Amino acid sequence: MRLVVNVPTYNERDNIEDVIYKILFQAKLLPGIDLHVLVSDSHSPDGTAQIVGKIALTNPKVHYLDVKQKGLGVGIVKGHRFAIDKLKADVLAQMDGDLSHNPAMLPKMVAYISSGYDLVNGSRLIKGGKNLLGWHRRLFTRGSAFYCKLSWGTFNLSEYTNSYRVFNKNLFEKIDFSKVPWRAKTYIIQPAFLYAAIKAGAKIKEIPITFEDRKRGYSKAKIIAYTLDVLKFGLKVRIERSKTFFKFLTVGAGSYLLNAIALGIFYRGQIYFFQILKKPLFDFIPLYDQAPKFLSVSIDRLLISSIISIEISIIFNFLFHEKWTFKHRSHDGASIFRFLKFNLTSVASPIIQLISILFFARVLLMHEQIGLAVGVVIGLFANYVLNTILIWKES
């Protein structure tokens, strides 16, 4: 198995030689792993290329890629692409070129990849992790993590802006880089790549790392611009993740109207308070006082009208969720079986609606449409959770 450690750089002549040798030193702790180092350099004018080139002349495990453009994301993405296409990498790693990341963590991270994880994320914010940067950088790290948790809805992760990661080739190939801002001049590639990995269905493991402040050279991080990019990206993610729920609410509103219209026509011949028919469509079914009872339950016109109108709305819901709301999610099994499963998982909502209708009409002596509206709102959220977990699963 070949592991390529991608080190994106710009003006790192003071550190790059130490970084390369510290990484290569880990080879003896990685039995069965063919370890290579790739320096993806943004055309540094300080002589970084010459230092790497000199090492590569005597060590075939060291490679240099001149990506020409500035930007961490460019170095990361083009470097990984080169590692896969030219160096035939099976596993990819990335770390900073300023000695902030300890290469001694590589064996542990690679071990988790070998055990079945798709991505191992170094974290400064879990037990055992340390962030030894200045207070303003520590504040940025924690603030960004808190914001990303809220906007992404990923409360199982702690670290979002760190660049020390190891992942397999298959995960990289799954990611849609047209939706990742990898050409940006800030470090937004770090959280954006992580989110893309989540969307690609990656199995992620976090391990504690210590993040050292650089001893030589200068930081290229532009904290204010980076903060703005994190805020914008989080807002974009929140809107994207909310689209499905807004679609669900739209279908729910249409379903409610259909349910209300059917109930009104069946029970009273009305649509809300407007008389449409001279007599109810189910006029042949007796009202509560004259209806037969089964196990103390009155089989009257309101009950029958409610059950049928609710089932009509369930059919409406299924068709629109299948073809629109959850169009791009998993559709396992035949449609008829998903429909039957949908009926079963949707049972909570109609039961709530039925109880609400009968409670408002028979106990509170209020119009049945009020009970229907209350029941629809309460049942809507229960249905959303069940539908996304059991019927149209998100990857």
Domain boundaries, the chain: 2-221, 242-391
pLDDT(368) > 80: yes
Label residue 391 by pLDDT band (50, 70, 90).
Answer: low
Q: What span, in angstroms and rounded, lies between the C-alpha atoms of 96 and 190? A: 12
pLDDT, mean over the chain: 89
The domain made up of 2-221 has a fold known as: Spore Coat Polysaccharide Biosynthesis Protein SpsA; Chain A (3.90.550)
- CB atoms inside a 10 Å sphere around CB 343: 14
pLDDT in the model for residue 283? 94
User: Where are the extended beta strands (E) located within the chain?
Assistant: 2-9, 34-41, 62-66, 91-94, 119-123, 130-131, 165-168, 204-208, 210-211, 270-271, 274-275, 293-294, 297-298
Q: What span, in angstroms and rounded, lies between the C-alpha atoms of 310 and 349? A: 9
Q: Which residue has the higher pLDDT, 121 or 292?
A: 121
* Lowest-confidence region among 142-151, 167-176, 233-242, 297-306: 233-242
pLDDT in the model for residue 216? 65
pLDDT in the model for residue 394? 59
User: Where are the extended beta strands (E) located within 67-108?
Assistant: 91-94
pTM of the predicted model, to two decimals? 0.68
Per-residue pLDDT of 9-56, as tens digits, reads 999 999 999 999 999 999 999 999 999 999 999 999 999 999 999 999
Q: What span, in angstroms and rounded, lies between the C-alpha atoms of 270 and 255? A: 18
Label residue 291 by pLDDT band (50, 70, 90).
Answer: confident
Q: What span, in angstroms and rounded, lies between the C-alpha atoms of 109 and 221? A: 25
